Chain A
């Protein structure tokens, strides 16, 4: 180097950039969830709307407090919508009738412990929404299994009004004539697991009004809309195919194998696909880039791992749906997966030696 060189004056190359920033990515994730939200409200009432509002407000307040404590720039980091996405995903995982303080607690845990304690956006080891959900699931198992029956099928279906939902969410009280025991139902996955445990066959269990063509009634349609949103994200390049394909193939291959072995005690692959959070996980939860591996092969492995673990937990675990645990367990495996899936850098392959 000659001594007359000095630092470059202008900005560094490249001088053009994609307009897709983190905030736009997060906003598109939210847009993609909108169709599923509409289906959700149709089948299970307005509870989820209150859950979303409470979870998002709690997430934003927690984020603000944490950022202030950590001395970070508020406008930059609050404007990224990542806390909003966390809140919305948590709300999607919760039953429609969840007391507000449980929702808020989950949101606070997700943001404060699972995200900010690790250093904020980009640094969290675990999926914040799933960490928050699991914290609630192990702390409040009863409240988190009180699902409402879906619209249709139930002959004496009486939807909770907007006000009644709000009243329950805020105060835990139901209008006269309603009791939680009377209106709450298990989820199809819950029912399947319980009844299978009581030596019934899949065919018998599926006679319940909670079941539709493949999975749970209502859940199927929500699943369709989630997949719709997911495909839109794929076409916009917001998510890539590796994780969704991994999750769904992991789950479906396991389900198909056991279904073929004994369809009496193993529900069909369609049931697994359209029940619980399988599709939400495949397109929206497991695709959180921060807590997923960074290599493409790694993301496929990560997805397959989640799918297989979900099947294992659903079939032989004590929780009806295994999504959250599967995601968190695979989050733990991310450094290992990354380590063993590094691509071969150009010009360093064996063929070049």
Chain B
């Protein structure tokens, strides 16, 4: 079949972004390996502060793989499924490896050494016979969330109020080191395409495009070959330039369609929905195999790991067990990072659990990553604004951040910062720009709230003053009735007193 949208296989090079040493070959030596079942898993209930699930199991309960163990409140019906078979040990706060490195309430499950699946886990084919709403409900119940890192419930993203013209399957894995999506597209392209077809139906859309980067020829060929074998209409493959951060949602949309998502808006405003290719594969697994979201592919890489590669890991697996599965530490003084080197977070423990957002675990040797260097004054070289995909002026924002000037930060649109780290990467003065902008964005929320409160207070005060003035005016006007009637009253008074009219003088 032919691609629905014709894209140049060598697309134009974006002006923004940076070319970073890819380090991808390190973890691409072999295909996706299945990690052994963990001895214990921890399943977070509030991985993002916006969505907090409620456990429907209690300590001591026996759990089967794929069984719903927690539900998110609200009409969406989003759930969390047990990644293993075992017994609930406790539900308590544990540290989790996501931005902020905070503690989430986790259901801890001791595994029973076996993998017995819940009765609910049956294939749902043919998916084509199910209604849109039914597809969405099943995806929600299977606990499928965006595996690109945002963790947004997939079903909620498929329930669009406005019509969708284009579904973008994001396989443009632009960060160095990370290869889980590329390996998925190479090893299991048919799942990505099948999942995309189901998502199209759940969206009521007709056109989907799988975006790969220009340095992934194998993935592109695998997808093309798999597409040729299916009869799914409306799905194509597009190539974008391999340049970080081409895989950022907003950047990918710009590269593919030439349109920009409005600041503060969503891709839906353009009639576009973006999903990660791994999410599509998870949807396929649900309908074809009856497998809810209980695992994900994690790239374990870096110079500090024995056998780097991609592993299909049960969610909640302690990183320690994943590292053991990947051949263990190559040397003692390694540093762990969750995610890529551009946006990932440094971890201080290998006891943390694998989550839906865990696309890559880097076990780095001390010399592999940049040592913190002292900041030097900004020389305004402008490299940061040259590479900024949001076309911000980081050098000016830096001044606004150092001055704590929220108004200036707002004028410079700090909210448009996608926190990609390109400005930091190129800065010859080694200034921690992104970290400051992340902080500034958080402060912007407070500042806007303060502004709104101040505006409300001002309005109330103005209204009060207005009422005061009106009342004062009323009192002032009161005794001054109509001058004509006043004259008449005086005449009447004079007449009654029997005197002559005073106006006759």
Interface residue ranges, A against B (CB under 8 Å) = 1-2, 4-6, 8-18, 20-22, 24-25, 76, 80, 82, 120-123, 240, 289-290, 292, 294-296, 299, 338, 342-349, 351-353
Q: Is the CB of A24 within 8 A of B386?
A: no
Known A13-B345, A17-B370, A22-B376; judge A345-B416 contact (CB<8 A).
yes
Closest chain B residue, CB of each to CB of A121: B377
Chain B residues within 8 Å of A295, by CB? 382, 385, 393
Alpha-carbon gap, A1 to B50, bound state (A): 8
B56 at the binding interface (Cβ < 8 Å): no
Q: Is the CB of B369 within 8 A of A15?
A: yes
Q: Is the CB of A289 within 8 A of B381?
A: yes
List CB contacts (< 8 Å) of B362-416 with chain A.
Answer: 364, 369-370, 372-374, 376-382, 385-386, 389-393, 395-396, 413, 416
B424 at the binding interface (Cβ < 8 Å): yes
The 4 A-B pairs of least Cβ separation, nearest first, read A10-B346, A14-B421, A122-B377, A347-B263
Closest chain B residue, CB of each to CB of A8: B101
Alpha-carbon gap, A41 to B49, bound state (A): 68
Pick from A5, A14, A240, A345: contact of B342, CB under 8 Å: A14
Q: Is the CB of B427 within 8 A of A17?
A: yes
B5 at the binding interface (Cβ < 8 Å): no
Pick from A1, A12, A296: contact of B435, CB under 8 Å: A12
Chain B residues within 8 Å of A13, by CB? 339, 341-345, 419, 421, 424, 434-435
Pick from B21, B341, B385, B413: contact of A14, CB under 8 Å: B341
Q: Is the CB of A346 within 8 A of B260?
A: yes
Q: Is the CB of A9 within 8 A of B390?
A: no
Chain B residues within 8 Å of A342, by CB? 393
B254 at the binding interface (Cβ < 8 Å): yes
Selected A-B contacts with CB under 8 Å, 24 pairs: A2-B49, A6-B102, A10-B101, A13-B345, A16-B341, A21-B376, A21-B428, A21-B430, A24-B428, A25-B379, A76-B376, A289-B380, A292-B380, A294-B380, A299-B382, A343-B391, A345-B413, A346-B250, A346-B389, A346-B391, A347-B250, A347-B260, A348-B262, A352-B260
Interface residue ranges, B against A (CB under 8 Å) = 20-21, 46, 49, 52, 93, 99-104, 176, 250, 254, 259-265, 335, 337, 339, 341-348, 364, 369-370, 372-374, 376-382, 385-386, 389-393, 395-396, 413, 416, 419, 421, 424-430, 432, 434-435
Closest chain B residue, CB of each to CB of A351: B260
B397 to chain A, nearest CB (A): 11
Known A9-B346, A13-B343, A348-B416; judge A294-B101 contact (CB<8 A).
no
Alpha-carbon gap, A1 to B102, bound state (A): 11
Q: Is the CB of B429 within 8 A of A22?
A: yes
Q: Is the CB of A346 within 8 A of B93?
A: no
Q: Is the CB of B254 within 8 A of A346?
A: yes
How many A-B contacts are there with CB distance less than 8 Å? 172
Known A294-B393, A351-B260; judge A120-B382 contact (CB<8 A).
no
Chain A residues within 8 Å of B339, by CB? 13
Chain B residues within 8 Å of A10, by CB? 101, 335, 345-348
Q: Is the CB of A349 within 8 A of B260?
A: yes
Chain A residues within 8 Å of B424, by CB? 13-14, 17
Chain B residues within 8 Å of A1, by CB? 49
Chain B residues within 8 Å of A123, by CB? 377
B150 to chain A, nearest CB (A): 16
Alpha-carbon gap, A16 to B373, bound state (A): 11
Q: Is the CB of A347 within 8 A of B416?
A: yes
A302 to chain B, nearest CB (A): 12
Known A2-B49, A15-B370; judge A120-B377 contact (CB<8 A).
yes
Known A4-B102, A20-B428, A240-B386; judge A347-B262 contact (CB<8 A).
yes
B109 to chain A, nearest CB (A): 21
Alpha-carbon gap, A82 to B102, bound state (A): 43
Known A345-B390, A345-B391, A346-B254; judge A12-B380 contact (CB<8 A).
no
Alpha-carbon gap, A83 to B262, bound state (A): 45
Known A8-B100, A16-B20, A24-B428; judge A346-B416 contact (CB<8 A).
yes
Q: Is the CB of A240 within 8 A of B265?
A: no
B353 to chain A, nearest CB (A): 16
Q: Is the CB of B380 within 8 A of A290?
A: yes
Q: Is the CB of A18 within 8 A of B426?
A: yes
Alpha-carbon gap, A151 to B3, bound state (A): 69
Closest chain B residue, CB of each to CB of A20: B428
Closest chain A residue, CB of each to CB of B104: A4
Alpha-carbon gap, A331 to B60, bound state (A): 73
Alpha-carbon gap, A347 to B376, bound state (A): 32
Alpha-carbon gap, A5 to B430, bound state (A): 28
Q: Is the CB of A4 within 8 A of B428?
A: no
Chain B residues within 8 Å of A24, by CB? 428
Closest chain A residue, CB of each to CB of B52: A2
Point out which of A4, A5, A13, A294 has the most chain B C-beta atoms below 10 A from its C-beta. Answer: A13
Pick from B254, B347, B376: contact of A80, CB under 8 Å: B376
Q: Is the CB of B395 within 8 A of A294?
A: yes
Alpha-carbon gap, A83 to B99, bound state (A): 41
Chain B residues within 8 Å of A120, by CB? 377
Chain A residues within 8 Å of B396, by CB? 294, 338
Q: Is the CB of B337 within 8 A of A15?
A: yes
Q: Is the CB of B345 within 8 A of A8?
A: yes
Alpha-carbon gap, A337 to B370, bound state (A): 36
Alpha-carbon gap, A223 to B22, bound state (A): 40
